Amino acid sequence: MTVQRARYAKIERLVSALLLEHHISKPAVAIQKLVRKTGIEIKYGDLGDVSGLLVRSGATATIGVNINHPLVRQRFTIAHEFGHYLLHLGISSHYDRDYRVNYRSHESSQATDVEEIEANFFAASILMPKEFLDADDAIQALDNDAAVERLAARYNVSRHAMSLRLGNVYGRYRPF
């Protein structure tokens, strides 16, 4: 299935259901634990300029994460690939047997591919759920660097990711 436009409402419902199902009610979301509970294996290694990838083989899936990236980037990559797992079939490749692969690289963050936009939105939504941000009165952090820094530490994400999420959630300073 080729996605024509980002399905934001579907992703928000999916994130809410996951948080409820797994009794996650406050930050920082333990994304590695959540992903492993779904049966997905996470492997770390040197992936060069690739942040991460998702490999599917039959009923199994593995997320590969670049161990050389900062921990907050690794968490976002895991959430991003989990989004691909839940939302997209992946690109078919053939080696000794059939695999379906999604890669997370520099191009993933360029907002030119709908599946990448969705995976990024899923990652931001699950790591920084709107209801958690609302409970933390995060709207007050929009123009306060120190408050963004504190929220980023609380949610275990980068300052950049938190800044983008706040702008998107609260409708101001959205990136073009």
Domain coordinates in residue numbering, the chain: 8-127, 129-176
Whether 102 contacts 88, CB under 8 Å: yes
pLDDT at 173 over 80: no
DSSP class of residue 139? G
Q: Give pLDDT, residue 43.
A: 97
Topology of domain 8-127, CATH: Arc Repressor Mutant, subunit A (1.10.10)
pLDDT band at 111 (very low <50, low <70, confident <90, very high): low
Whether the CA torsion 165, 44, 110, 80 is positive or negative: it is negative
Average pLDDT over residues 138-159: 94
pTM: 0.84
Question: How many whole angstroms separate alpha carbon 163 and alpha carbon 112?
Answer: 20
Range in 64-73, 76-85, 122-131, 137-146 the model is least confident about: 137-146
Whether 147 contacts 140, CB under 8 Å: yes
Structure tokens, 175: 């990136």
DSSP class of residue 28? S
pLDDT at 95 over 50: no
